[in-house]
Chains A and B, each alone.
Chain A
């Protein structure tokens, strides 16, 4: 593999080709996947989860010894039945679970080789590097403009010109610019459901985070809006590392490069998406993706 020397886009293509070539191989343990692609390790925006367990109220363990690595500038999809812990893991990446009383964890999560639970790390600075899009679109009751620049405003940015540029760039990236450029100062609550979710994406990417976490971003949207957002995710991975939680397996196959299957709080299998769906190594995965349960 010589992809280390290629540009991100070229590398992306390379990955797809290599995954297609790898389709024949089966029975690869999860850990081995990472080991076989050393070119991805050590990249700057790389999420590494090592032996991570997570409990809600002390006795309720919802994640069991997860170990995984998420490559830079790729779309990684978390799939699995409801309550399998995929959203919990996603929300651990930017420590949103800290807001819940009585949670505890073991093991480590590294973002860009930095332990996110490090005492010296400000959780705010971590969240500034990680954008998040939620299942239910949650625009603030402010104008479209103010929604997009919110993360910059709270960071103290006052330069008007820069804010204007950020609004235009972010809305263009979220494919919302054409629809909203004449009504930037109208309330965001006047937008349609799909537009609201794209606005939330624009808001999440406004201060150019390294990672974009998406928690079932299309679950409340109609097929047309979903298609738009999926198209958008494919665009976004050119600049961001995207982790997406989805219930929709077609969606996972459409947008993701890598996929991880969770069941009962355990990571069952993680592989390139085409590989995982066409030739899963684990029985549970096969049962799930073929619709035999769940």
Chain B
């Protein structure tokens, strides 16, 4: 009892002494931090994943007095995207409730989204036979199917036995043909073009040398003729396929009553949103998610997939790692193991630490000035004079982007490697030296293996920073749409000079540069989610390697 009262009567300083208030205070800040991160991640996760989840299509009937209708029509149909209160108050001073519909059919309406006041809606229905069609252009079509007119004049009316199956097989045939056209035009005709380009370069090179020009010219002309014939043959094949694309015709009716038609060659896939069961929705979710990962973007990146951007980010990060890790580790070994610790080394260390704080755009400008213009320009004038004035390496590309990123992340690697090397105990080093090992042997056999987990920690930090960076990349090689991947089956397989796409830039481009930001919004979320997942996957892989190494060389300082 006396002890208790003593506690009550204790001075403020004494009460604070055990530190309990600080436990709560510091814990609170951590909790706030965690909450913010969890909130951010869940927003991205929910919005990113819901992009692929098929929603029901609602058909709204507008009231007689409503002015919201399109032309004379009193109907709209679409996915319900948002329910909100309009900030503009009516006469009574109330906020006006409204909905946002994704109505599709941009080719007809001229808009893809429509806000409608709740007061304008007299009836909502969910028609079973309404069709959602993904198209090559103008976004999705939301309409009632009417009939399918196949090549040879055969017609099947919607609702007849076998209509869906016929439409499905027609769309599949069209997709196959589209792939084939793309293969011919990009692959085979691309090959012919490359060959022609090479001939042109050879000719130009010969002209630069001025010797034996006539002979080369004659040869080149002959070869060019052969190539020209080959090109015409391929072009004719492609044209024939294109014509076939237009032979099947799909007729449909909008909710406005207007009847329209479209060639099946423009359709990608279709489904009846209001007929989908849960299983159907799940399978649709996964197939769309998969398409997002492996397809190429369409319509200014707002439709289709992000494969080139995903691949570009991955390859850039990988090359960056290959460049930055040896560079940083070797520099750190000198600083930590060989350099005489003194004022100079301390200054160098402070300088390295400060490099990590330089704004990334500065690295971008440096990369553009030094790598692209000076290094790339010299490479071009030395090795590719015949292509000038078209630059080869003298313009932004994968190599320069990776090098710029490597330069930007090297301080991170140096700092964490130094810490890792310093954590290898003196006893261990002495034991090695006493066994007759040289300094380098000690570093090689004892210090580096012992510090490896810490070195990998540095690599993880560098990767996370490199993969998420956008600003410098815009200057040194990232583009909105790259026609080719940096890795392909054409020798020399790795094309370090090519421009590439990057998820971070893709997000910026979709969100802030696209003509229809409302249509691009779901893609922004999905792409953000994918970038986060990519960074997490890369880090998880590195962490797994680190754990394996830590088990092998257990010195658990990291």
Q: Which residues of A contact B (CB under 8 A)?
A: 94, 96, 99, 101, 124-125, 127-128, 130-132, 134, 136, 138-142, 150-151, 153-155, 187, 189, 200, 203-204, 207
Contacts and interface: CB of A to CB of B under 8 A. Distances in A.
Contacts of A207: 435-436
B449 A204 contact: no
A124 B438 CA distance: 7
Contacts of A155: 436
A52 B425 CA distance: 30
9 closest residue pairs by CB, A with B: A128-B436, A138-B427, A151-B435, A132-B434, A141-B553, A154-B437, A138-B431, A127-B436, A154-B441
A141 B449 contact: yes
A94 B428 CA distance: 16
A138 B425 contact: yes
B554 A150 contact: no
A203 B435 CA distance: 8
Nearest to A155: B436
Contact of B450 (A96, A131, A132, A141): A141
A173 to B, nearest CB: 16
A151 B427 contact: no
Contacts of A138: 425, 427-428, 430-431
B432 interface: yes
A207 B433 CA distance: 14
Contacts of A189: 554
A124 B554 contact: no
16 contacts: A96-B434, A101-B340, A131-B435, A132-B430, A134-B431, A138-B427, A138-B428, A139-B431, A140-B446, A141-B554, A151-B435, A154-B435, A154-B438, A154-B441, A155-B436, A187-B552
B432 A150 contact: yes
Given A141-B450, A141-B552, A127 B427 contact: no
Nearest to A94: B434
B186 interface: no
A204 B434 contact: yes
A132 B427 CA distance: 12
Q: Is the interface of B mostly helix, strand, loop or mixed?
A: helix
B81 interface: no
B428 A154 contact: no
A131 B450 CA distance: 23
A64 to B, nearest CB: 25
B445 interface: yes
B555 interface: yes
Contacts of A132: 430-431, 434
Given A140-B446, A155-B436, A96 B554 contact: no
Contacts of B433: 96, 99, 127
Contacts, number: 71
Interface in B431-483: 431-438, 441, 445-446, 449-450
Contacts of A99: 430, 433
A94 B430 CA distance: 11
A150 B427 contact: no
A151 B553 contact: no
A127 B435 contact: yes
A136 B553 CA distance: 18
A102 B431 CA distance: 21
Contacts of A139: 431
Given A141-B450, A150-B445, A204 B427 contact: no
Contact of A124 (B427, B436, B449, B555): B436
B432 A131 contact: no
Contacts of B437: 124, 150-151, 154
B428 A151 contact: no
B145 to A, nearest CB: 69
Nearest to B425: A138
A174 to B, nearest CB: 15
A154 B443 CA distance: 12
Determine which residue in A150, A200, A203 has the highest number of CB atoms from chain B within 10 A of its CB, and name it: A150
Interface string B329-358: 000000000001000000000000000000
B428 A136 contact: no
A154 B434 contact: no
Interface in B106-149: none
A144 to B, nearest CB: 14
B200 to A, nearest CB: 56
Nearest to B553: A141
A142 B428 CA distance: 12
B421 to A, nearest CB: 14
Contact of A204 (B435, B552, B555): B435
A200 B430 CA distance: 12
A135 to B, nearest CB: 9
B379 to A, nearest CB: 42
A109 B552 CA distance: 41
Contact of B428 (A96, A128, A140, A204): A140
Contacts of B446: 140
A139 B553 CA distance: 11
Contacts of A128: 436
Determine which residue in B435, B445, B552, B555 has the highest number of CB atoms from chain A within 10 A of its CB, and name it: B435
Interface in B417-432: 425, 427-428, 430-432
Contacts of B449: 141
A153 B433 CA distance: 13
Given A141-B552, A150-B445, A154-B441, A134 B435 contact: no
A131 B434 CA distance: 7
Determine which residue in B428, B434, B441 has the highest number of CB atoms from chain A within 10 A of its CB, and name it: B434
A139 B428 CA distance: 7
A134 B445 contact: no
Contacts of A153: 445
A134 B430 contact: yes
A203 B430 CA distance: 13
Contacts of B430: 96, 99, 132, 134, 138
Contacts of A203: 431, 435
Interface string B384-426: 0000000000000000000000000000000000000000010
A187 B554 contact: yes
Determine which residue in B431, B433, B441, B555 has the highest number of CB atoms from chain A within 10 A of its CB, and name it: B431
Nearest to B428: A138
A127 B439 CA distance: 13
Interface in B291-350: 340
Contacts of B340: 101
A141 B436 contact: no
A203 B427 CA distance: 14
Contacts of A127: 433-436
Given A154-B438, A154-B441, 14 more contacts: A134-B427, A134-B431, A138-B427, A138-B430, A139-B431, A140-B431, A141-B449, A141-B552, A150-B432, A151-B435, A153-B445, A154-B436, A200-B431, A204-B434
Nearest to B340: A101
A153 B432 CA distance: 11
Contacts of B428: 138, 140
Contacts of A150: 432, 435, 437, 445
B429 to A, nearest CB: 8
